[in-house]
Each structure stands twice: as structure tokens, then as C-alpha cells.
Amino acid sequence: MDQQITFHDYKPKTLNLQDAVIEGLSRTPKSIPPKFFYDERGSALFATICEQPEYYPPEVEQAMLAELAGEIAGLTGTGRVIFEPGAGSAAKIRLLLPELKPLAYVPMDISCAFLREAARNLAEAFPALPIHATCVDFTHSLPLPETVPPGPRLAFFPGSSIGNFTPASARDFLAMVHDRLGPDGMLLIGVDTKKDPHILHAAYNDAAGVTAAFNLNLLHRIRNETGIECRPENFEHRAFYNPEQGRIEMHLVSRRAQTLRLNGHRFEFSEGESLHTENSYKYTPQEFIHLAASAGLELQNYWLGREELFALYLFRSR
Ligand code: AVJ
């Protein structure tokens, strides 16, 4: 339809959903990886979470990107190929495009239809920007399509998505990003900071109940897509800060003893038993700079946002 946009489907295997559900519900404690939140409705609910007053990361990070765009461009230069794992609605990159003037933009996301829509909207606002929309599960691989022009690269990973990884897998992921950066590559990454647990608690228990709906949507999704016999209303949302691990944990807690059935498997839940759906790790600058260094990334600069609620880091590949 539009030469400005090329679409590349690496077919993220949602076929694996059933396997992942069976495997996750067979574990003790039970867990399902957070990437399965993002069906179309989950992606839309996440966008709504980002509008909640308690969920400070988007607001603080966007203010930082808007304010620092010129300074960041001074450090990265212009004319890079920007790739963004988990680009979602591709809203944040808009704040950087006028200053960073990239050669091309490669948004990557597991939610193909959502990505296609995001690419179209972005193309309307930035008609001169070549967009290589790449549908992929970025936790597995970061393929840059062959149509992407050569040029120094900049990975953009905002929103503290890195917080979903354990520190050990965050390091592996950053090493994979480092591999994709090539010579003179840079990484601009937004990471949530450690802070007063009350602020964290409110951010994951918003008054409007959007985070709860987002968490519970996982059950609706797996019921629709795997046919598992399960009543989402028999579970409730729970999110809390775990200070030992330095992370927010999200769970779906069984309101009663119940059995979920799928393809001859039976999964027993006792009353109060939880299904662990997400971790969101928080880092002090010292911790994060150390972690990135272990993946071959050298700090260029970092900035703390309002009340040190959020941090942006710019790294160079070594
Ligand atoms: C996608 C990992 C950045 O942990 O803050 C928001 C997802 N989950 N509210 C986060 C999320 C519940 C989010 N990240």
C-alpha cells in the first residue's frame, strides 16, 4: 500500500501458547510469561495503563525524552538506523525523530496487527521516514530485515521493558542487543528506579482497575486461544513489591479451590494459590550500569527524571 512501510513477519509462535500454558501450569509455583499479555486487547489495555495517573513511568519518561532529545542527538549524532524491540504503539520514538533524524526506523513487536496499525499512524505523522515493521518475539531473536539500510545503529528500548527479565536474562538480552548494534552502535534505554514501595504499589494497583483488567485478560486470552476451561472471575489481581528481589510481582490469585482442564490435563488450584504472571525489576543507576557493562555496554551518559522516578541511559557498544 505504501512504499514507506515494509512489513516483515517472523511469525512469533503464538502456536506455543498452548505449550506455554501447559508447561507454566505444571510448574510449582505456577507461572505464565508476561509476553502472553499482549494479544490485541492486552496491547490496548497496556496503552490504557500508560494513561493512568498512578502509573508514572510513561509520563516521566516522555517528559525526559522531550526535554533531552536535543542533548541525546548531540551524543548519538543523526542518520542512524533505529530499532525498537517491543515498540507497541511507537509513541515514544516520535519525541526523538525530529532531533535524531534516523535513516530508518525498525519497530519490532509480537502483536502483528497492533504493530501494523502503529506503523501506519507513524508514517502519516512522519511521511519521509522509512519504516521496517518487524513482527517478532524479541525475547527469542532480534532480526533486522534485509531491506534495512546499512548505517550506524541505535537500539531504543524505553518503558523499562528490561524489567520483565530476571537480571541474568536481562544481561543475556543486552548481550543480544550488543550483537545487533555492530560498530559504533548505541543503546538508549529507559529503566525504572528503586523507590518508595508505596509509589510502586500504587502504580501496579491503579484505582480504575486497568492493571487488574490487564492481568486478568491473560486468562480470557488463554481461554479463547487454547480452549482451557477456566473462569477468569474465579481469580483476582495481586501486585506487590518484593524488596529482597527488587521487583514488582504480579499474580492471579485463585479465589477458591478449582480445577482448570485443557486437553486431558488437569490443573488444580487451591484457594489463595497464585499464578505468577509478571516480574518488573527495578534498578539503581549503579546496579544497572554494572549489569550493562557485563553485556559489553559502556555508559555514555545517564539522566534521572522527576523525583528520580525513572532513568534513561545511553550506552555505546564496546
Ligand atoms: C512492560 C514491563 C514496562 O512492568 O511496568 C505495567 C508492564 N505491567 N503494569 C511494567 C506492566 C503492569 C510494564 N513493562
The answer to whether the CB of 56 is under 6 A from ligand 1 is: no
Q: What is the pLDDT of residues 114-161, one digit of tens each?
A: 899 999 999 999 999 999 999 999 999 999 999 999 999 999 999 999
For the chain, what is the mean pLDDT? 96
Answer yes or no: is the C-beta of 211 below 6 A from any ligand 1 atom: yes
pLDDT category of residue 3 using cuts at 50, 70 and 90:
confident
Is 189 near ligand 1, meaning CB less than 6 Å away? Answer: no
| Each residue's pLDDT tens digit, 148-195 | 999 999 999 999 999 999 999 999 999 999 999 998 999 999 999 999
Contacts of 161 (CB under 8 A, 6+ apart): 85, 86
The dihedral built from the CA positions of residue 152, 158, 163 and 164, taken in this order, carries a sign that is negative
pLDDT over threshold 80, residue 279: yes
Report how far ligand 1's centroid is from the alpha carbon of 19 (Å). Answer: 24
pLDDT (0 to 100) of residue 135: 95
Whole-prediction pTM value?
0.95
Residue 2: is its pLDDT beyond 70? no
Q: Which residue's CA is minimally distant from atom 13 of ligand 1? A: 161
Cα 169 to Cα 155: distance, rounded to the nearest angstrom: 18
- Are 12 and 84 in contact, with CB atoms under 8 Å apart? no
pLDDT at 277 over 60: yes
pLDDT in tens, 298-313: 999 999 999 999 999 9
- Distance (angstroms) between ligand 1 centre and the Cα of 146 equals 31
58 Cα: distance to centroid of ligand 1 (angstroms): 10
Angle 56-76/93-100 helices, nearest 10 degrees? 20
280 C-alpha to center of ligand 1: Å?
6
**Which atom belonging to ligand 1 lies closest to the Cα atom of 203?**
9
